[in-house]
Structure 1
Amino acid sequence: MSWVFFLIGVVAVVASSLPVLLARRFLRDIREALGRDPDRGYRPKVCLIVPCKGLDPDFDVNIGAFFDQDYPDLELILVTASRDDPAHEALQKRLHAHPQVRARLLVAGIAPGRGQKINNQLKAVAEVGEDTDVLVFMDSDARPGPGFVRHLVQPLENHQTGLATGFRWYMPVQGGLWSVLRSAWNGGGVVFLTDPQANYAWGGAMAIRKKTFETCKVADRWQTALSDDMTITSAVRSQGLGIRFVPQCLVSTHEDCTFAQMLEWTNRQTIIARVYHPALWWKIALAHCVGNAILVLGVALLVGYALGWAADPLILVAALLMLAIIPMEMLNGLVLLPAVLEMLPEHRRQLVRLFPAYCLLAPPASILALMNTIYSLFTNRITWRGVTYEMRSPTETIVIQEQP
């Protein structure tokens, strides 16, 4: 029996080294991408669409970043569900303060059977001019730099690329435990973005040619959907087109959160993944279930050896091999650090200060992901910006309740 435990320990070490190898590959890919000239002079006519609901932390600063985009031919469309939304008045003031920017504010109305964000996006798409070349969708809690749109559209010069995407990195403001844990949990998904077979669109920063949007029938797919990014990922791939991650478009989101907010957000992401991308959900579920089960077994064997219940030295070796998963998870964070620093150089000082916490929180982030996975087995309902939805399938969304 001791040899069985030893073999499990060896397998655990090998398996826990795979994320480190993925992080090394990601670092290599990012450095290669950043080493090439990111701006090839491609300047299509862009419509930047930003759906808004409520006032995010630093809302005015974030919205100001969209008005400050350094792009020659860009129209900005901001959308709220109603005129009563607190964001609507704030956006009107911003429009009046920047008359030199070609921008509009639309009211989409309440979504009958789809996500409110998608409803806002569809309203904007319906208002886009015929001469628009590229649609860019971004979230109101992002804070892009002046060259963000310029970088994001560059991959679309290649017509084999159906969609270009950025990604989010949560930047804790005060650096509280739950804020850093959410950032570490979210950061774990970044390593897949340079893999052409495993990457995906992130709804906070997506660029797609208007013609591709129409050919892929994205608007039709969005009619009864909740997740804009997973739906558009499926639509683009169905046409045999690729998705490209743009390293210059890793965008910072400056927010703190409580434990309840962190848990609600991570649960929501996991539930959406289970409904819209079950294959990915199963891979994540199995990885975290098996990994944490082995950790528990390793602790049990170590305690048993220490108490004299198992005198075989091979049991001690097996326990230590199983527990090696913890330093390997921390090493993964350390390997990932240089890539994140190169993509977010303006936040280098804060990231370096936070990275010991990121490494220490890698094992708790794995446990949190396991908790999210278990929770997602029992519900397909989420609450998103005050609205409760039930996802009966990727193509059927029911609005259960909207908070006043």
Structure 2
Amino acid sequence: MELAFILLAVSVSLFNLWLCLKSLLYSKIIFTRFYSTRYDNNYNPKVAVFVPCKGADNNLKIHLNAIATQNYINYRVTFIVDSVLDPAVEVINRITALYPHTKLLVAGKATTCGQKNHNLLRGIEDDNNESEVYLFADSDVQPHINWLKELIRPLSLESVPVTTGFRWLIPEDNSVSGSLHSMMSAYLCMLIAHQTFRGVWGGSTAIKRKDFEKLNVKELWETSVVDDMTLTRLLFKKRINRVFVPTCLTVSYNTLSRLTDDIQWYSRQAAFLKAYLKPLWIACIVLHALTIGISCSTPVFVLISLLWFPVYKYAIIASLFSLVQMICYGMMKFIYKDNQRFIKWFLYAPLMQVLGFYSLIKPGFSNNIEWRNICYELHRDGRVKSIRELPEKVEIS
């Protein structure tokens, strides 16, 4: 019993450490020193940037302006909405009036797939095969001036069909919910950074047009609810590598203000995972269950050891395990340099584990996904079964 407990605790600790350290090493050292030098700095394909927009928060103009003013000449931007009545249209019109390489496209309502997928496919159709590279971006991030150039540079290699960045959330206040939202996003970033998972993030992904067509991404998106998880599943299935570009982490200050919103957001990510990458979803549940189980046993073993001394070994092992897990969560913040402190992430780690586990198991009881005020009912294979609009409410994507 003692040996089994030790082996389990050590195995889970080493796996979590491996996840964390490999992501950090790749982001800080390996990509810059070993990967980046292989790419052609003079690679200059024609790029079509597609930005689905929904609603208008206070920073929308700043975000869209950052996308429109990239340090790259050979590109054009299409901002896509589902209706001319969308509040984002007013902001988009101001941007398109300033920059001739930008335009507004009204895609209409989706009927067979997620609204974001529909918007992207309408944008691609409007491009009419004129561009060599498609780049998909979210409207709630603020990319740096060289983001586009750096994201497409790995595509200069024939062996690289897809590249991806990720979003880095920075809370504007010291709220618990904002910090947890940032931590949850950082955890996903840590997974994306692993080549093993072949993950892409739809808010910052580039793909060569010829590979988009070769992989039949259009046909996949026409019946699915989300873009990035389905593309990730396709890369898994075809055993195709993609490159995560750590210099293309895009900053966003749109963190959530309530714990219930954190759970809803993370549960939606888990629902996408369940629908399109079910084995990975199950693996995440098992890993979280083991982590929480051993961590929660710490105070139990400590209390029992006060009454029955032989249990002290279990108390020490569980305590060390909990400490390692908290350090791992704290270390995630070093993927990107910001104003958040290690100690805060370290102390919030237990709460993050509990909320993360609850959010992971929550989608197991439903095939419905609510996203951007729309409820999607899915078939077991992830195809959209029905679409129903919900009352308007403020939501973070």
TM-score norm. by structure 1 comes to 0.90
CA deviation map 1:325-345 (0-9, x unaligned) = 32112221344444323xxxx
Give yes or no for the alignment of 1:22 onto 2:19: yes
1:38-187 alignment runs, 5 A limit? 40-96=41-97, 98-99=98-99, 101-187=100-186
Report how far residue 172 of structure 1 moved: 0.7
Aligned length: 386
Distance 1:322 1:125 in 2: 53
Query: What secondary structure does 2:251 align onto?
Result: strand
Distance 2:3 2:232 in 1: 42
Distance 1:85 1:331 in 2: 44
CA deviation map 1:43-83 (0-9, x unaligned) = 11000000001113411111111111111100100000000
Report how far residue 16 of structure 1 moved: 1.5
Aligned equivalent of 2:355, options 368, 383, 386 = 368
Alignment correspondent of 2:230: 231
**Aligned residue type for 2:351:** P
Give yes or no for the alignment of 1:322 onto 2:318: yes
Report how far residue 362 of structure 1 moved: 1.9
Alignment correspondent of 2:395: none
Distance 1:304 1:196 in 2: 43
Alignment correspondent of 2:292: 292
Distance 1:239 1:202 in 2: 18
Q: Conserved in 1, the CA contact under 8 Å of 2:198 and 2:232?
A: no
Distance 2:88 2:19 in 1: 40
Give yes or no for the alignment of 1:202 onto 2:196: no
Distance 2:58 2:382 in 1: 30
Query: What secondary structure does 1:315 align onto?
Result: helix
TM-score norm. by structure 2 comes to 0.92
Report how far residue 250 of structure 1 moved: 1.1
Q: Conserved in 1, the CA contact under 8 Å of 2:52 and 2:79?
A: yes
Report how far residue 238 of structure 1 moved: 4.2
Q: Conserved in 1, the CA contact under 8 Å of 2:181 and 2:255?
A: no
CA gap of 1:238–1:295, structure 2 versus 1, over 3 A, is closer
1:326-341 alignment runs, 5 A limit? 326-341=322-337
Query: What secondary structure does 1:224 align onto?
Result: coil
CA deviation map 1:97-120 (0-9, x unaligned) = x14x41110001011121111111
Q: Conserved in 2, the CA contact under 8 Å of 1:5 and 1:315?
A: no
Report how far residue 266 of structure 1 moved: 0.8
**Aligned residue type for 2:374:** V
Alignment correspondent of 2:282: 282
Report how far residue 304 of structure 1 moved: 2.3
**Aligned residue type for 1:273:** L
- What percent identity do the matched residue pairs reach? 25
CA gap of 1:195–1:364, structure 2 versus 1, over 3 A, is same
**Aligned residue type for 2:230:** T
Query: What secondary structure does 1:377 align onto?
Result: helix
Distance 1:291 1:336 in 2: 17
Distance 2:187 2:105 in 1: 36
Further displaced range: 203-212 or 321-330 = 321-330
Give yes or no for the alignment of 1:389 onto 2:368: no
Query: What secondary structure does 2:66 align onto?
Result: helix
Distance 1:373 1:194 in 2: 20
**Aligned residue type for 2:313:** V
Q: Conserved in 1, the CA contact under 8 Å of 2:187 and 2:332?
A: no
Give yes or no for the alignment of 1:32 onto 2:26: no
Q: Conserved in 1, the CA contact under 8 Å of 2:330 and 2:344?
A: no
Distance 2:284 2:84 in 1: 41
**Aligned residue type for 2:316:** L
Distance 1:267 1:57 in 2: 26
Query: What secondary structure does 1:262 align onto?
Result: helix
Unpaired runs of at least 5, structure 1: 342-347
1:7-18 alignment runs, 5 A limit? 7-18=4-15
CA gap of 1:326–1:57, structure 2 versus 1, over 3 A, is farther
CA deviation map 1:7-59 (0-9, x unaligned) = 41453134213212332222222212123447622111000000001113411
Q: Conserved in 1, the CA contact under 8 Å of 2:186 and 2:333?
A: no
Alignment correspondent of 1:344: none
Report how far residue 93 of structure 1 moved: 1.8
Report how far residue 150 of structure 1 moved: 0.3
Distance 1:366 1:261 in 2: 16
Distance 2:12 2:47 in 1: 44
Q: Conserved in 1, the CA contact under 8 Å of 2:81 and 2:89?
A: yes
Distance 1:229 1:211 in 2: 18
Report how far residue 146 of structure 1 moved: 0.8
Q: CA RMSD in A?
A: 1.9
Report how far residue 262 of structure 1 moved: 1.2
Distance 2:40 2:169 in 1: 26
CA gap of 1:130–1:185, structure 2 versus 1, over 3 A, is closer
Distance 2:109 2:201 in 1: 24
Report how far residue 239 of structure 1 moved: 4.2
Distance 1:338 1:290 in 2: 25
